[in-house]
Amino acid sequence: MTGESTGDASSEAITSAPRPWWFRSNYKPVTEEIDSHDLPFEGNIPEDLNGLLLRNGPNPDASPTNHWFAGQGMLHGIRLQEGQVQWYRNRRVNASVAGANGFTEANIHILSHANRIVALGDNSVPVMVSAELEQQGTAGDVPMAAHPKICPLTGEMHTFSTSHTPPYLSYHQFSSEGELTSTFEIDLPAPSMMHDFAITLDHAVFLDLPIVYDPSIDVTTSFPYQWDGDHLPRLGVLPRKAPPGQQPTWFEVEPGYVFHTINACEIGSRIVLDTCRYPELWLQNANTFESPAMVRRYDIHIDDNFVRENTTFDIRCEYPRIDERKVGLPNHFAYVATMAEEHFSTVGFGHRVVKLDLVSNSSVHHHFGPNRYVGEPLFVPRAPDSGEDDGYVLVLVYSRETQASSLVILSAQDLAAEPLATIAMTQRVPFGFHGCWLSEADLAQLR
Ligand SMILES: [Fe+2]
């Protein structure tokens, strides 16, 4: 992640004291919860793109926060139907919810499982949300990380939680109906930071990497995690159907940090794991990003007990997404947002959405120009049975010139082409984290 200036001088000038970068430019929170209808757009919104786009991200109120990751969540919803933008609305996630390490915010992700929409933070109990973005209480009492994996074949949800006290890692499995079916307590030498993991058809893959909880860090000024060069970087592989008490098999890898996996799959007795990986991170403190993430492939030779790893795309990128129907299965394509080209001191979004061909190691870029910045690109299949890249890529784009946001719809099979449609958002959508798409069928099945 990097730090091209995404700021506008006018908005920063009204602040007398310097505020952290996550309160400036398009990181700056919005204050209003609004409802708007029939949003204007250019181009043609595909008639078969019917559903609801949801996005979550931190949106702190006036109080200062210690880190970009902190602060109350804000949900943004955009309803597309029959070639029109039926509505946009945004709603705060008001409740701080129980987490593995005290109360926390559900401010990172929003997704659906077992016909329920849930907002998630890191190690928070899920907050249930209606399709109109109204909160409906919490779902169960199991804190979980923000990146569950839903098996497209079984409908199970696999996830984990981490804790500052032993057990530092717990792996949870939920049935397709949303019932907790198994929890594995996993032994770790220290409370390392885990934001994401991966599943395959038969295994879960954990990343025990050298950023570790440090209780000596002043949490009023920073996030209590830091690079620890003494922490052995490892990948852990555990069968999904392991008996209770079984521990993962661990494989040593080169130092580095991964916030986000792209996907993993089994190829014979190997597991191939693709990630966006930083060679080093948070050496000074958790607000400084020393190096950019690039696409890293880990080829885990389970029987021979080693990992072959290499950088497969030297593109500075983050926020990887795939066709969700390919989670845990061999996938041909992934979509990433580029990060800015210079200055890695802060998180800086870039100007391109990139489609990665993971088979040929080639890529297609959609460049939005030097004054527009992209967030997470979300792939939406054109139909339930359409091919892997037969669909649309939806991305929120911020313009430094107009200080406004738009939702851009690209053709996944012709990514570099002019957008199919560009929707003018009623109010700015701050840079945030992750989201999901619910089709008309998904919406009809909600509880
Ligand atoms: Fe994330």
What lies within 8 Å, CB to CB, of 394 at 6+ separation is 53, 377, 378, 380, 407, 408, 409, 410, 437
- Per-residue model confidence (pLDDT) at position 108: 96
Q: Count CB-CB contacts under 10 A for residue 91.
A: 20
Percent of the chain with pLDDT over 70: 92
- Per-residue model confidence (pLDDT) at position 61: 81
Nearest Cα neighbor of 432 from 76, 111, 160 is 76
* Choice between 403 and 94, residue whose per-residue pLDDT is larger: 403
Task: Tell me the C-alpha distance between 155 and 201, whole Å.
Answer: 12
- Asked if the peptide bond before residue 248 counts as cis, ω within 30 degrees of 0, the response is no
CA of 70 from ligand 1 middle (Å) equals 13
- Per-residue model confidence (pLDDT) at position 7: 38
* Each residue's pLDDT tens digit, 344-370: 445 689 999 999 999 999 999 999 998
Three-state DSSP class for residue 13: helix
CA of 64 from ligand 1 middle (Å) equals 22
pLDDT at 13 over 60: no
Measured between its terminal Cα atoms, the distance across the chain in Å is 38
Sorting pLDDT into bands at 50, 70 and 90, what band is 99? Answer: low
pLDDT, average across residues 92-101? 72
Q: Count CB-CB contacts under 10 A for residue 247.
A: 12
CA of 67 from ligand 1 middle (Å) equals 15
CA of 82 from ligand 1 middle (Å) equals 31
Mean pLDDT of the chain: 91
CA of 318 from ligand 1 middle (Å) equals 9
CA of 260 from ligand 1 middle (Å) equals 6
CA of 147 from ligand 1 middle (Å) equals 7
Task: Tell me the C-alpha distance between 185 and 170, whole Å.
Answer: 5
CA of 163 from ligand 1 middle (Å) equals 17
CA of 198 from ligand 1 middle (Å) equals 13
CA of 146 from ligand 1 middle (Å) equals 6
Which amino acid belongs to residue 170? S
pLDDT, average across residues 321-329? 98
pLDDT, average across residues 314-333? 97
CA of 16 from ligand 1 middle (Å) equals 32
CA of 203 from ligand 1 middle (Å) equals 21
Residue 321 has phi, psi (to 5 degrees) of -140, 150
CA of 319 from ligand 1 middle (Å) equals 7
pLDDT, average across residues 99-127? 88
Which residues does residue 226 pair with via DSSP β-bridges, in sequence order?
Answer: 212
Task: Tell me the C-alpha distance between 235 and 200, whole Å.
Answer: 14
Whether the CB-CB separation of 199 and 207 falls below 8 Å is answered with: no
CA of 321 from ligand 1 middle (Å) equals 11
Task: Tell me the C-alpha distance between 78 and 419, whole Å.
Answer: 18
Nearest Cα neighbor of 296 from 333, 323, 322, 262 is 262
CA of 54 from ligand 1 middle (Å) equals 15
pLDDT, average across residues 172-178? 98
- Per-residue model confidence (pLDDT) at position 9: 31
The reply to whether the predicted model has a pTM over 0.85 is: yes
pLDDT at 3 over 60: no
* Each residue's pLDDT tens digit, 190-239: 999 999 999 999 999 999 999 999 999 887 777 889 999 999 999 999 99
CA of 14 from ligand 1 middle (Å) equals 31
Q: How many helices (H) and strands (E) does the chain have?
A: 2, 35
pLDDT at 97 over 70: no
Sorting pLDDT into bands at 50, 70 and 90, what band is 103? Answer: low
What lies within 8 Å, CB to CB, of 408 at 6+ separation is 368, 394, 395, 396, 397, 419, 421, 422, 423
pLDDT at 161 over 70: yes
* CA R_g for the chain: 20
Task: Tell me the C-alpha distance between 423 and 215, whole Å.
Answer: 45
Whether the CB-CB separation of 300 and 264 falls below 8 Å is answered with: no
Whether the CB-CB separation of 66 and 223 falls below 8 Å is answered with: yes
CA of 108 from ligand 1 middle (Å) equals 6
* Each residue's pLDDT tens digit, 266-302: 999 999 999 999 999 999 888 777 788 999 999 999 9
CA of 145 from ligand 1 middle (Å) equals 9
- DSSP letter assigned to residue 346: S
CA of 433 from ligand 1 middle (Å) equals 6
Q: Where are the domains of the chain?
A: 155-314
- Cα–Cα distance list, 5 to 9, 29, 164 (Å): 10, 17, 35
CA of 373 from ligand 1 middle (Å) equals 18
Task: Tell me the C-alpha distance between 273 and 19, whole Å.
Answer: 38
* Token pair 């006036």: residue: 62
